[in-house]
Structure 1
Amino acid sequence: MRHVRVALFGAAGAIGQSIAKAFSAHGTPYRVVGRSRDALAAAFGADPLAEIVTWNPDDPASVQAAAAGVDVIVYLVGVNYWQFDLHPRLMKQTLDGAIAAGVKRLVLIGTVYPYGRPRTTPVREEHPREPHTFKGRMRKAQEDLLLAAHAEGRIQATVLRLPDFYGPGVDKSFLHAAFIAAVNGGVANMIGPLDKSHEFVFVPDVGPVVARLTDTPNAYGRVWHLAGAGVTTQRALIEEIEQQIGHRLRVRVAGKTMLRLIGLFNPLMREMVEMHYLLTDPVLMDDSALQGLLGALPKTPYAEGVRRCLAALPQ
């Protein structure tokens, strides 16, 4: 394998593709690492700057080989929502392999889960990490392993926390059902409440920030926030969709009780019950520290993001 400055581990998802586009736009070769060559080829096969590598994270030799010749890893490795216990183990295995391969830096794309219920609004990076959910505890354990490796001088590490996200072609979003209903008709099945404050980051905005972060020495050794394009609500975004398409949407809202019932038959919905607090007690992030580090953080306004999401769907 050739030497590349950066590798995206767990690259095939929406955030990974956004980061890859940012590197590609600057003519920077990059490696994409995942379990499925077919998924990687579908996402990155057309880009001559992309080097496709498959790995088995349970095989130390495979992890080390995937990290060979890399300076920086951006870590986006996902697990099924009902398998969050894998997060710490996969991080440890990746760290061990990366360090053995001589990787200098690792950027974890993280979540707000480790904070638990917010004590303040907005939430700054120094907010206590006191997760009251299993998923939050697993994400915190993942971060602890990484930050301990940094403190021990084994690798330079940082965490970039993102809020919920949306974007063209992004199906793992609270808003996706509304976009589909806007174009195809039918009912938009949403998870409520819809009127509580929330924030969403537009996926294409994430990649350029991560690309800059990887190359900023002062970024390492701490946690950073990238907030959305301002505080909004799901209701406000549904109304924006309605304004742009020129008619009302039919919307069906599931609250926590309904999630429990649906969860009897759907493992994803069952696992969302414990995270429902994020819709009733939202974690709204302050990213002024990241702005101080990198300068201006261009963010797509919600109206423009909605327009681009609608335009990306087959009419």
Structure 2
Amino acid sequence: MSNAPSAQAPLVPRIALVGGTGPIGASIGTALAATGTPFAVIGRDSSSIATRFAAIPAVEARGWDPEDPARIRAAVRGIDTLVYMVGVPYDAFHLHPPLMRRTLEAAEAEGVRRLLLIGTAYPFGRPRTARVDENHPRAPHTFKGRMRKEQEDLVLEAHARGRIATSILRLPDFYGPDVERSYLADIFAAAAAGRRAKVMGPIDTPHEFVFVPDVGPVVLRLLASAGAFGHTFNLGGAGTITVRNVAEQAFMLMRQNPKLFVANALLLRLAGLFDPVMRELVEMRYLMSDPVIFDDHALARLIGPIPKTSYAEGIARTLDAARRALRRS
């Protein structure tokens, strides 16, 4: 009888990140890898999954076609928990509800036990209180907000049916290393390159941003918490800050005075005549003039104190990443 050690079978992933090739997916994947938890990433492009998670070779890439229910079922088969963060083009928000509906139908059919939606502030609409908690009315006044609310409704209705446990974690706008789709992103690229940064005004209103690397550990703690499902939660940033102050700190680290090109409502409308994405930004400009500031006490009561990276540290780390990206280009 041989005493040679037997090869250990690879661990089967029980968690899948749906649409996980963006920065939030990378943050969650990094947190999972740090705990030795195997996971799968579901997306259209296997090469994008391989690129994003190159440092985590054990990740299982699962291709899907979100238009094809059979492909969705195949992608979620054998999975216990889905973390859903599928993005769509900014001018195609009408796709959010049908994508969510097909994913939930496939998940229920395949016996997936839990689904966590990574959501946004859009369903709340204009804030009616200084701090927005989970009890704030969801009364979106924008098309994109209505589509996000319809998406949330599908998730909550699925939980009520009892075939899958669901939850929602809403994030404010975010920033961080290698984050390209953020109201702050061009500040860091511009500071690194010594050029003028393009930002959307107003820029002196206190705003809230979550640092992307902080999100992954929160998601893991939420998934591990009894009582997480059947509820919605907000995650706030490390206090408030203005866009101008972010720019001042970033440019100061480069020993420069901040150089900003501020797009007001008129400029956005003019740009929107030629650029569909800029056209879509017009209705969301209220987030800069009337920002949603989250109250995340309910989340903290469930999972305990939430470590949050200070803006000073987050700005420095994001700028360092922008400088490295510039050197590679």
Could you tell me how far apart the structure 2 residues matched to 1:143 and 1:118 are?
18
- Report 1:1-315 matches (<5 A): 3-313=12-322, 314=324
Structure 2: which 5+ runs fail to align? Answer: 1-9
Shift of residue 136, structure 1, vs aligned partner? 0.5
CA RMSD of aligned residues (A): 1.2
Letter of the 2:184 counterpart: L
Give the letter aligned to residue 31 of structure 1: A
Amino acid corresponding to residue 224 of structure 1 in structure 2 = F
Q: Which has the larger radius of gyration?
A: 2
Report the residue type matching 2:83 in the other structure: V
State how far apart, in whole Å, the 2-side matches of 1:15 and 1:182 are: 24
| Structure 2: distance between partners of 1:257 and 1:206 | 35
Q: Distance in 2 between matches of 1:169 and 1:48?
A: 20
Separation in 2, partners of 1:183, 1:94: 40
Structure 1 residue 243, shift from structure 2 partner: 2.5
Q: Separation in 2 of the partners of 1:311 and 1:130?
A: 39
Q: Over residues 45-75 of structure 1, what are the superposed CA-to-partner deviations in whole Å (9 max), with x where a residue is unaligned? A: 4413310011001111111111111110000
Q: Quick check: 2:83–2:116 contact (8 Å CA) kept in 1?
A: yes
Amino acid at match of 1:205: D
- Cα distance in 2 between the residues matched to 1:36 and 1:26: 26
Cα separation, 2, equivalents of 1:127 and 1:175: 26
Alignment deviations for residues 238-278 of structure 1 (CA, whole Å, 9 cap, x no partner): 11113322221211100111111011111111001011111
C-alpha contact 1:167 1:309 (8 A) present in aligned 2: yes
TM-score norm. by structure 2 comes to 0.94
Q: Work out whether residues 113 and 139 of structure 1, in 8 Å CA contact, stay in contact via their aligned partners in 2.
A: yes
**2:252–2:258 CA contact under 8 A, matched in 1:** no
Q: Is the 8 A contact 2:12 2:38 kept in 1?
A: no
Alpha carbons 1:71, 1:105 under 8 Å: kept? yes
Instruction: Give the 3 Å change call, closer, same or farther, for CA 64–2 of structure 1 in structure 2.
Output: farther
Q: What percent of counterpart residues are identical? A: 53
Letter aligned with residue 225 of structure 1: N
Residues 172-228 of structure 1 show CA distances to partners (whole Å, capped at 9, x for unaligned) of: 111111111111112101101000110000000001101111222301111101001
SS of aligned partner of 2:190 = helix
